[in-house]
Every structure is written in structure tokens, then in C-alpha cells.
A = this chain, B = another copy of it.
Amino acid sequence: MTVEFSEKLIDMGKQAKEAARFLRKATTLEKKKVLNLMADSIEENAEKIKQANYQDVLNARENGMAPAMLERLTLDDKRLKAMAEGLRKIAQLEDPLAQANKQWKNDNGLMITQRPVPLGVIGIIYESRPNVTADATGLCLKAGNVVLLRGGKEAIASNEAIVEALHMALEEVGFPKESVQLITNPDRQLVTQLMQMNDYVDCLIPRGGAGLIQNVVKNATVPVIETGVGNVHIYIHESADYETARDIVLNAKIQRPSVCNAVESLLVDQAFAERYLSSLGNALYDGNVELVGDEKVRKLIPFATVAHEEEYETEFLDLKLAIKVVANYDEAIQHIEKYSSGHSEAIITSDYQIAQDFLNDIDAAVVYVNASTRFTDGEVFGFGAEIGISTQKLHARGPMGLEALTSYKYTIEGSGQIRE
């Protein structure tokens, strides 16, 4: 893709690099202070932010934005409070740069240290969810990184108001304002340029739907951490305990259907299906879940409609579940291999060897035995916070905490050694 070149964006990149030089040397205490001040500033500027957001919401409604998206765009007192509390929580987390990874003396007497360092400048490309502006900034900054933010154009006024509040905190402690920069020009060419500014951007993290993420993966020359899409399966092995299976499936589908770790497809061994699928179907029906299935499923669950290929491929993010009866373990594995997005996959079984096989066979970020897939989450893992869930294998996989926002460098301290 050829890109219309913007000098302004190059300048932002240069200033970001400059700010990165400052940030990577900021102490833990300084970063903690600025994050707490950012939280205060969000609260102090709540009225201004709400006003700006009100304009965004009005415009979006006029332009016919869907209700679910309008809901995500809207900032009320509760959300602003959560934004501030989120920043305070990040402030309290351990500094991912504080501790050396490894240190050893090599054969030549060189002291080699692998030290964590910030990635540098991180580009965040996201949709019209203004809370991401504060969250992503908090996490990037805690790990010593500069952020270049490009949010959805429908949230521009909200994002500007939030970033203005964050800037006040940066200025109060003498951090460069350019540590947090927002691209406000809605021109889409700028996103492509951002994705190709290898001299100024160290890493891109897209946050949003499959379309946004694929656009970044396809067009970026800057390294990308691919996040998010979860076409999640649960496979009920014939040995599974019915109640365990039922509780896990209901939880994974119903507790919060709009998130990436919710289950989208259910695979059921023939023997289990014959005994229990009808009851399981009723339990899902009671939970208002729309069911689609193959012929065998529809014999056992008469109200299930026909599942097409397409439905096994879809991340519904809704109260909808695709079901398929499989002959055995191998057919289940093949189905998962074909349709998995590499996010989270689970088996329910009481068979020891089958459980081990599943853990080994499945190639996904998180592989479960006998637990709900809803646990794929940085908080649940104990990371304290999460910038996203990586579905790629390079750099970071699965829930990403602060560590995923760092790189490392080697320092070598010698006393005049030369190579023989």
C-alpha cells in the first residue's frame, strides 16, 4: 500500500523517540508518581472529559452508530472512576524493569547481564473505546514506554480530553509531554504510515475486532503483537462427568459472552451426546443461548438450527453456540486444528491419558483440562493487568502483562578483553 506521507507524523515519531530516551531512565518512584497523578487528573477533569465525550456520542448517534458500540463509547462517572482506579492499580504493580533477568560470567571473564528495557515507542491502534486511551497509556508508561495512540475517529474529542488530562500529570512531574501522543487527524492514510514508521516505532499493538487486527497484520512493517480473536472450543470427551461439563460450558458461554475467552463451539463425543446432550441443550436454552448444530445435534436438540461451515468459523461474541457431535478424540482434535484461532481450547474429561494428550496436541495460547475458558485473563493469571491476549507465537503468547511490554539488552562489562 502506498502511503501519503505526513511530515507531522514523522515529527511525532521523532519526539516520541526523544521522549523514550527520557522514559527509559525514569525511576520506579517517578513512574509511580506520574501514574497516580494521572489518576487524579482524570478525576479532576471529569467534567471536561464528559463534555467532550457527550459531543462524540451525539455525533456518533447522528451518524447511526450501533447501540452496542455507542455503549462502549459513552463515558459516565463510574467509567471515569474505573479509569482513574485502573491507573492507580498500575502504579502499584512491580516495575518490570527493576530486576535483571540473568547475570553470568563467561569464559573470558566478561560479566554479561541480560537487563529488561522498555520496548521504546509503542503504537496502539484501537477502536472507539476511550477507556483504552488511559489503560494502554498506564501500562506502556509503567514499563518505560512512550505511546503513540490512534483511537477510533468517533472518540476523538473524548481521547483529546483524556490525553490533555494525562499531559497535565506528565508536566507536573517534569516528564516530556511527548511520552503520550494522540494522532487526532482522522485520515486513514496516517494509520498506514504509523504502521510503517520503522525508524520511530518499535512495536504495534492493535486492539479491537478481527478487521482492525488483520489490517495491521497485513500492512505493518513495524513488528506487531497480534491480539484477540478467540474462536474458542470446548470438547467434551466421552469420559466427562456431566455436571462438570454442564457447569463449565454454561459458564464459558453465558457469564460474559462478548469477550474473546468465551466459548464459541462445543464438540461432544457421540457416547456423551447420546446420554446428555439433550439435557445440556435444555440448560443452554434456559440461559437464552441460541444453538446451531450438525444433523446429529439437531436430532438430540430439536430447537437447534442448522450449523454451516461459516458458523464453525465465527467468533459470535454473543449468546450463540455452534455444536458438533464427533466420533472420537481424533475427530475433535482435527476440528479444533482446522478452526482454532490459537486463543483458548478446553477438554472436559476424566481420562488421565486423554487429558495429557490434549495438553500436548493442541497448539493454542492456553489449553485447559476441566476448567472454564473464561480464565484466560491477565488478572486471573496473577499478572495484575493485561494489555491484551496474544494469539501469535513470537514475543508473547496468551495474556500479556507488563513483561510483554519490555525487551532486554545485554550489558557486558570487561577489563580489556579481546577475542582470540
> Any chain B CB within 8 A of the CB of A353?
no
- Give the complex CA separation of A348 and B371 in angstroms: 56
**Quick check: A394 and B407 within 8 Å, CB to CB?**
yes
Q: A223 contacts which chain B residues (CB < 8 A)? A: 223-224, 392-395
**Quick check: A255 and B419 within 8 Å, CB to CB?**
yes
Q: A250 contacts which chain B residues (CB < 8 A)? A: 418
Q: A21 contacts which chain B residues (CB < 8 A)? A: 337, 361, 363
| Interface 1/0 per residue, A97-112 and B, CB below 8 Å | 0000000101110101
CB distance from A211 to the nearest CB of B (A): 15
> Any chain B CB within 8 A of the CB of A50?
no
**Quick check: A398 and B393 within 8 Å, CB to CB?**
no
**Quick check: B419 and A372 within 8 Å, CB to CB?**
yes
> Any chain B CB within 8 A of the CB of A369?
yes
Q: A112 contacts which chain B residues (CB < 8 A)? A: 381
| Interface 1/0 per residue, A389-400 and B, CB below 8 Å | 000111101100
Q: A120 contacts which chain B residues (CB < 8 A)? A: 363, 393
- Give the complex CA separation of A15 and B300 in angstroms: 37
Given contacts A247-B418, A372-B419, A375-B419, contact A395 B397 (CB under 8 A): no
> Any chain B CB within 8 A of the CB of A198?
yes
Of B395, B397, B413, the contact of A409 (CB 8 Å cutoff): B397
**Quick check: B410 and A370 within 8 Å, CB to CB?**
no
Taking A107-B380, A251-B418, A369-B411 as known contacts, 16 extra A-B pairs with beta carbons closer than 8 A to each other, sorted by chain A number, are: A107-B382, A203-B394, A223-B392, A247-B416, A250-B418, A255-B419, A355-B413, A366-B411, A370-B416, A371-B415, A371-B418, A372-B419, A374-B419, A375-B417, A395-B395, A397-B409
Instruction: List 6 A-B pairs, minimum CB-CB distance, nearest first.
Output: A371-B414, A251-B418, A393-B407, A374-B419, A395-B395, A223-B394
